[in-house]
Chains A and B, each alone.
Chain A
């Protein structure tokens, strides 16, 4: 066969300038089914904000139940219908449904999709100097799978039998047997369906992030010149790629147990005096699979927040990040270790104590890279020219939570102590500080810092300060007392404690926590106003409002699809040249070549500058 009749169409290979053929798109393709990473990032952000309000609202309601068990909740009947009895009492099963939804929403929809989805999408191409993600189409799918997943989870909350109610960790047999509780029926089914789409979304997103970081860095953007934000998003995506499939395995077997009658997780169960046919399964198997995913997942939540913090703290301390290499090293170490510590969630499952001590040892090792990060943040701040923007305050707040929540991790990591503390409010306090609040602060820091780039306008600083202080103090007032309540033995996920005399002395403390929670939640509306109002009415943002070095600030005020109107900028240096001795300004953007900064170059950089010039 001759080759002549074969047309060589090299359509897969696109040049750099391919995005410049800009044509007007219809509203639908520009704002809804957009493949522009910036639009997709905003879609993730707005959806995440929606979920955060809902998830936070749920927590206020169940805190009311915990803090004021005798309260008449009749006023909630218009929203919650039959879940509030006519005497104004919250339905106990719905209490469980609410904590389950709160956990699911916060962990997955807000702090995984809302955080990674927003900032990985937004910053990876902008900070690496790429026109867009490796595949805009996959990115589009990633968002719409997330949307579908959200929709299904949302609908499940309106079922007459209630949404899933077995906790965000959905342990069987509770979650596997529809007759176990009303939420384990249709609600649990929808939870599982929703999670299938969620996982598909995360994997599509993650594959895209990794591919983009590996393949689409601009000239000069070596791995050693990548901002720590990108390093964090990159490793987060790797963690997701390796751990979410295990969740698929875990959930798949659960689906078979639920819908086809297999016995992977079920054995010798009696319900209402009647024996179920299932034999030979083990619920502990579920825990192994779940936590093999679950522990990396908590780092999937916190690493992006730490990445954002690195960037914000360095910029606003006007100092290079302390220990850039150590930061990368600790991200990698955390990522690796996070796969071999899962059984610290299972110390009381009757595991072999010898095995328990191995997992205890591995768990405590994680404290080292975590401490390296905390230490590096503090040393970056040390003697810096601190500029207290709201983003900076939230980043410092994150460091504070990460430390105080991480310390309690050391207690829990000791099997002997954990046997007492497991499933008490002490654990709740631990992870709300170290993961919940820290990652939430990372998210807020990111929004305050990149809002000018996202919307071309500034947020109001004063409102930002008020928001920060109310939230920062509020978080401690809410979660610090929970440590005491936990040490006293309060189990988590209980509807009420009024039947136990031992706990009666904690009634006031519980009411106090609830009041603090309401105030903290209320403070978020200041943020919401600040955010939505200034999208339209904010003062126009300068091109580089924080005098920052990274590439996103070299784009126009409102970048089009393709990000840079002309050529993609080249990168000549790392992103942390702040307050370099000898330099005229206290920052040198990554796009400035060494041969233009003779006055501040080191010897090594002078060598580099010669190479630059001979190259041109």
Chain B
């Protein structure tokens, strides 16, 4: 599934109308939504079954959430700069977005370390396993987002991103905001249901 994101980023991708590409991205997003809807429903079903381990969500997850929101802000700033044709700013913006995202990766890792120190393991009661699966799978999708960023970055180097050619960066921004929203959903879901 990860591959589709890469394909959209592929320049050889031939579509007759620009809209079709964006539309396809939205369909891809719908399918990711269904994936997580399935997983979070599984969580609820499992929880209602009993034998459920209670534990505190590490605070680090809250901090990482804030950081991910920051990366979305950076992404949006980049997008606006592309509209203004400030390519230098675009390059800086993309780099910043990616850097913040990598910080997010690290913070998720720290959250896992914290969970382990609380005796909540991937292998064990499903209530803990689910946290690892949700956050891990979200990160997997974020890797797709990073690849997309890289492609847009290369495009910018080749002067292919500017006010008259916004498609790639627009789609990248959409996907990026989606990933941010997805994590916020997962985080709130976990906090409220745990």
Contacts and interface: CB of A to CB of B under 8 A. Distances in A.
Contacts of A14: 14-16
Contacts of A288: 41-42, 45
Interface in B143-178: 159-160, 162-165, 167
B117 interface: no
Interface string B104-118: 000000000000000
Contacts, number: 174
B159 A7 contact: yes
B22 to A, nearest CB: 10
B52 A135 contact: no
Interface in A6-62: 6-10, 12-14, 16, 18
Nearest to B4: A204
A442 B112 CA distance: 51
Main secondary structure of the interface of A (DSSP, over half): helix
B16 A216 contact: yes
A257 to B, nearest CB: 9
B13 A279 contact: no
Contacts of B35: 245-246, 248-249
Interface stretch (B23-31, B60-68, B69-77, B184-192): B23-31
A109 interface: no
Contacts of B13: 135, 137-138
A311 to B, nearest CB: 25
A260 interface: yes
B46 A260 contact: no
Contacts of B24: 134-135, 138, 207-208, 211
A181 interface: no
A261 interface: yes
Contact of B87 (A1, A136, A250, A284): A1
A135 B15 contact: yes
Contacts of B49: 282, 284-285
B6 to A, nearest CB: 10
B133 A136 contact: no
Contact of B165 (A1, A8, A241): A8
Interface stretch (A262-270, A313-321, A428-436): A262-270
A263 B126 contact: yes
A262 B27 contact: no
Contacts of B193: none
Interface string B25-51: 001101111111111011001100101
A1 B20 CA distance: 31
A245 B42 contact: no
A141 B86 contact: no
* Most-contacted residue by chain A among B18, B42, B53 (CB, 10 A): B42
A262 B42 CA distance: 15
B10 A137 contact: yes
A3 B159 CA distance: 10
Given A9-B165, A211-B27, A262 B129 contact: yes
A445 interface: no
Contacts of B126: 262-264, 280-281
A261 B129 CA distance: 10
A215 interface: yes
A350 B7 CA distance: 45
Contacts of A12: 15, 18, 21, 165, 167
Interface string A263-297: 11001000000000001111011001100100000
A253 interface: yes
A285 B32 contact: no
Nearest to B123: A261
A138 B7 contact: yes
B96 interface: no
A454 B56 CA distance: 62
A207 B4 contact: yes
A135 B14 CA distance: 6
Contacts of A199: 1
Contact of A141 (B7, B37, B38, B129): B7
B3 A242 contact: no
Contacts of A10: 164-165
Contacts of B3: 141, 200, 204
A137 B129 contact: no
B123 A1 contact: no
Contacts of B53: 280
* Most-contacted residue by chain B among A14, A138, A244 (CB, 10 A): A138
Given A136-B14, A204-B4, A1 B34 contact: no
A12 B19 CA distance: 11
B85 interface: yes
B122 interface: yes
A211 B23 contact: yes
A5 B88 CA distance: 13
B54 interface: no
A183 B123 CA distance: 24
B7 A260 contact: no
Given A199-B1, A203-B1, A262-B122, A1 B27 contact: no
A368 interface: no
A151 interface: no
B129 A256 contact: yes
A252 interface: yes
Contacts of B14: 14, 135-137
A285 B23 contact: no
A6 B46 contact: no
A214 interface: yes
A282 B122 CA distance: 17
Given A14-B15, A245-B1, 18 more contacts: A8-B164, A13-B16, A13-B18, A134-B16, A200-B3, A203-B4, A207-B4, A207-B27, A210-B27, A211-B23, A216-B16, A216-B20, A252-B39, A256-B122, A262-B122, A280-B53, A288-B41, A288-B42
- 3 A-B pairs with the lowest CB-CB distances in the bound complex, closest first: A249-B38, A246-B38, A245-B35
29 contacts: A1-B86, A6-B85, A9-B160, A12-B167, A13-B18, A14-B15, A131-B16, A135-B7, A135-B15, A136-B14, A137-B10, A138-B13, A138-B24, A204-B4, A212-B20, A214-B20, A241-B34, A242-B34, A246-B34, A246-B35, A252-B137, A256-B133, A263-B129, A264-B126, A279-B125, A280-B124, A280-B126, A289-B41, A292-B41
